[in-house]
Each structure stands twice: as C-alpha cells, then as structure tokens.
Amino acid sequence: MSLRVRQDVPLAPLTSLGLGGPARWLAEVGDAAALREALAWADERGLPVQVLGGGTNVVFPDAGFRGLVVRVVPDGLSFEEAGGRVRVRAGAGVPWDELVRTSVERGLTGVECLSGIPGLAGAAPIQNIGAYGQELADTLTSVTCLDRGTGEVERLPADACGFGYRTSRFREDEERDRRVVLSLELELRRDVPPRIRYPELAASLERSADLAAMAPAAAVRTVRDHVLALRRGKSMVLDPDDPDARSAGSFFLNPVLVPEAFEALVRRHAAEGGSEPVPSFPAADGIKVPAAWLVERAGFRKGRRHGGVGISSAHALALVNRDGTTSELLELAGEIREAVRRRFGIELAVEPTIVEADPG
C-alpha cells in the first residue's frame, strides 16, 4: 500500500484557530488515486472521514476526531491566455492568496478583492468565498471533484455549483461531503479596470489613489494593496505575531433579509432606543445587514473575553483562541447567537464547519 496513514496526529496545529484534539488517523493525498485509496482504507475499517484543507474555516472538537482526517493537497497553478481572457487552473492544495497574488502580478482582473483570504484553493468553491464586493462565483468556470460515492472524477461547470451567498451545492445537507474538490478553473481578464463595489474599499482608495488615472494592471495591484491593508487592520490575515489572528475568520454570516424582515428590524431597533440607522447593503436575494453590527448592538463588544477565548479586539465577527478550548469557543458563539436572536429576532448562521467529535 502506497498510502501513508499516521495515528494520533494533533489537529490544533493544522488549523488557524489552534483548537481541537487529535485525529485518530490522518493521511495526506495529492491526487484522485491517492484519495480513492484513503477513502477505501477508511471504508474497510468502518471509519468516518473528515476532509481537511488549510484549516482556516474549520473547528475541531476538544476530543478530536475518531476517524480518518484526509488532507487533500494536490497543487499546480497554470495560466492559459486567449484574446484578453486568461484561464487559471489551480490544484486544491494551492494557497488561495498565492493564486491571487500571482494573478495580480500578471495584471489580471477578477480576484484582486479576494486578496489575503487564508486557506487553500480547494475550499474556495465550497463556501463561495467573497470579500469587498467580489465572490469566487464571479470568475469561476468549473470545479473538478471526486464523487465519494462512485469514485469517479467529474467536472462541474459553475452553473451547476449552486452558488449563493457564502454557500454552494457542496454545503447543502443532501450533498454535504459527497464530493471532494481536486481543482478549479477561473476566467480572469487582462487590460480591464477593476470594479469597486464595496464602500469601505472605495473610501480607502479615494483617500490615496486615483484608479481612473492608472493603467489596469497598476490599478489591480493598488486594489490588492488596499484590501490587504484593510484586512490587516481587522486581523483578518494570518500573522503568527498577531494574537487576534488565531481565529477562523468571520464566525457568523451577514444575514440577508427580505424587505419586510428588514423593515421589521428597523422598527424593532427604533423601539428599543436605537438612534442610529441600521446599516445595510443591497444583495441579490434581499438586503444584507452586517452581522458585526448586530453582535455589538446585542452587547458583545470587540475584545470581550470568555474564559480562554474571546472576540477579536479588531473585528466583532472573529472569535479568537487565547489558549482556550473548543467548548469555550462554542459556548461563546451560542451566547452571541442567542443575544442577537433576543435583541433583533435574527438567527445568525455560523460560517466555519463545526466538526462533531463522534459523527458515527
């Protein structure tokens, strides 16, 4: 057997949160054949399987994982140009920001606002990553996956991926964990100025840059620089010297409300003494409300501690590990969700994957 399986491997060092007990078994796979072998190995032993990428959007339990954790790390990054459009192919194990940085260095437009997002490319289509007015769905053309049920490799076009706000068919209950991403393809553009849709980014650029006067390639590089600066200001880039970076990024999704629900929120906020307007942004399916605003108005301010965990001092949506436990983190998350529900009548959805200790 060519597959190398290790036993009792600590999971905390493999995640950005630094939480969780050991994996009973762990294997790293670099292609579809190795993945099939790992899945067969687990199936023969009746073990549950948890796929792990960069570990930046996952929460493991304190007890660890009793089955097989599979780290999928196929790499490779290529660019194929034709008529101003560039096809980018990335293996699932390519760090996402390496893809963005390389694309921007080549003067390509389409992913510059996604700069600094931690994790691997393979996780990008699962949650349709997005930031500062861009989403992966804007440029992705296909995802190549292995179907765990059949063992077959399949190529799904973008319109078959069911993309929505921070979600996709890969996260739907009936298809969750059915497929493992092996690679993805995007289509980026050359000599096309970047589009700025997000107010915070627009304000940052207006203070120090004139994008209209720049060549498109220079403008794309400038946008990346500003996005990275904004993310660093919120401790949303991986930095071992920043204690607020020991997080899984945004722990809660920004809720998208239908107009009637948004108006109810406005009335409820006013009735409880709120004087400032409820911030909102247009979204494809309704009106998006910043979850950070809801969290803070529900009484959970930046920097708050809960045992060995807490809320980032830089961003109210990031729950951080300060040498605590997963149990403490989930307790804090539960308290926040309950407070927001009581104060505003809104159920906050959790963004990272919460792994069960005993999924059997």
Q: Are 319 and 248 in contact (CB under 8 A)?
A: yes
- Is 166 labeled as catalytic in the residue annotation? yes
Nearest alpha-carbon partner for 112 in 188, 168, 210: 188
Give the separation between CA 120 and CA 97, rounded to whole angstroms.
8
Among left, alpha and beta (phi > 0; psi -120 to 50; other), residue 307 is left
User: Which tokens in the block code for residue 27?
Assistant: 């294997």
Residue 207: Cβ within 10 Å count: 8
Which residues, in sequence order, are CB contacts of 275 under 8 Å at separation 6+?
none
Catalytic residue, from 103, 250, 280, 312: name it: 250
Contacts of 206 (CB under 8 A, 6+ apart): none
SS3 305: strand
Catalytic residue among 71, 166, 169, 337: 166
69 CB-near residues (< 8 Å, 6+ apart): 9, 11, 23, 25, 26, 27, 49, 50, 51, 52
235 is catalytic: no
Q: Which residue has the tokens 């790293």?
A: 28
Residue reference for tokens 């390509």: 108
Q: Does the annotation mark 351 as catalytic?
A: yes
Contact 125, 168 (CB under 8 A): yes
Annotated catalytic residue within 112, 185, 328, 351: 351
Secondary structure class of 87 (helix, strand, coil): strand
Any idea which residues carry the catalytic annotation? Answer: 166, 250, 351
